[in-house]
Chain A
Amino acid sequence: MVLASDIQVAQNVGFGIIALMMVLAGVGVIASRNVVHAALSLVIVMAGAAAQYVLLAAEFVAVTQVLVYIGAVMVLFLFGVMLTRAKIGKDADLNNGNAAVAAPVALLLFGVMVYVLGKGFTDQELPTSDVRPQYTATISDLIFKPYLLPFWALSFVLLAAVIGAIVLARKD
């Protein structure tokens, strides 16, 4: 017997609305003729991704996504747009002439991925019975025990990136 709780109507409706929003905003990112509008569309995509993470029971990653991407990375992008004096209004010169090649490449890639995913996961459901939130303590235990070495490597990458960005962008 199929219970209403097995179909998860509310979650599926939420997923559909957020996914539609993300796809429309993604089209805005790749098709907009205005750099600032494209950057602001990316904010919608990132906020939608954070909402999908909540649907996937990953609250800590969702909060990190909002703080790091929407808070920090987007500000960096808008500063980049301003400092390189890209036009704030419409700009006819944003695309090169590769659309005739890029569109078949992207469509073929999408077709292959949908075919493979459809064959591999057909109608496999996400588990509903043992859903629990991903406790931050569990994640931090993972980071500081089995994934400690990648964490150190990542710290060095961030340090190198900070120093490199200052050295590159500094006016002598």
Chain B
Amino acid sequence: MLVNQFLILGALLFCMGVYGVLTRKNAVMVLLSIELILNSVNINLLAFDRLNGGSDGNVFALYIIAVAAAEVGVGLAMVMLIYRNRKSISLDDLSEMKG
């Protein structure tokens, strides 16, 4: 197996996630796209770990999984708070900071 086949799969998923973050209006969909990005990073870390024959990449991947879980928890709590205050989770409606 080539290293590049894993790295390019990770790059493709990363770019899909970037596209999703930029185009989605629904806040939950943006969080889903961020999960795509985090998964692609984990694939890269484990591919490099296998290439170098260590175990450190596994530890980094586990830490990323834990941080991603925390991020989803806080992110969805914020989305629920926004929904409760405005009855909408469209990111285009949150424009108070526009000059």
Contact B67 A93 (CB under 8 A): no
Query: Measured between alpha carbons, how far is A58 from B57 in the docked complex, in Å?
Result: 10
Contact A52 B43 (CB under 8 A): yes
Given A86-B89, A134-B55, A164-B77, are A49 and B39 also a contact pair (CB < 8 Å)?
yes
Task: Determine the residue in chain A with the shortest Cβ distance to B78.
Answer: A168
Contact A60 B1 (CB under 8 A): no
Query: Measured between alpha carbons, how far is A105 from B16 in the docked complex, in Å?
Result: 11
Contact B58 A84 (CB under 8 A): no
Contact B12 A23 (CB under 8 A): yes
Contact B23 A95 (CB under 8 A): yes
Q: Which residues of B contact A113 (CB under 8 A)?
A: 8, 11, 14-15
Q: Which residues of A contact B9 (CB under 8 A)?
A: 19, 22-23, 52
A89 adjacent to chain B (CB < 8 Å) = no
Among A27, A39, A124, the residue within 8 A (CB) of B3 is A124
Contact A105 B23 (CB under 8 A): no
Query: Measured between alpha carbons, how far is A107 from B63 in the docked complex, in Å?
Result: 29
Contact B16 A106 (CB under 8 A): yes
Contact A165 B51 (CB under 8 A): no
Q: Which B residues between 49 and 99 are near A, CB-CB below 8 angstroms?
A: 49-51, 53, 55-59, 61-63, 65-74, 76-81, 83-84, 89-92
Q: List 23 A-B contacts (CB under 8 A).
A: A12-B1, A27-B16, A29-B32, A35-B26, A35-B29, A45-B13, A49-B43, A53-B43, A53-B61, A61-B65, A80-B76, A80-B79, A80-B80, A86-B26, A96-B23, A102-B19, A105-B19, A106-B18, A107-B15, A110-B15, A125-B3, A126-B3, A142-B56
Q: Could you list which residues of chain B lie within 8 angstroms of chain A, going by C-beta atoms?
A: 1-9, 11-20, 22-29, 31-33, 35-36, 39, 42-43, 46-47, 49-51, 53, 55-59, 61-63, 65-74, 76-81, 83-84, 89-92
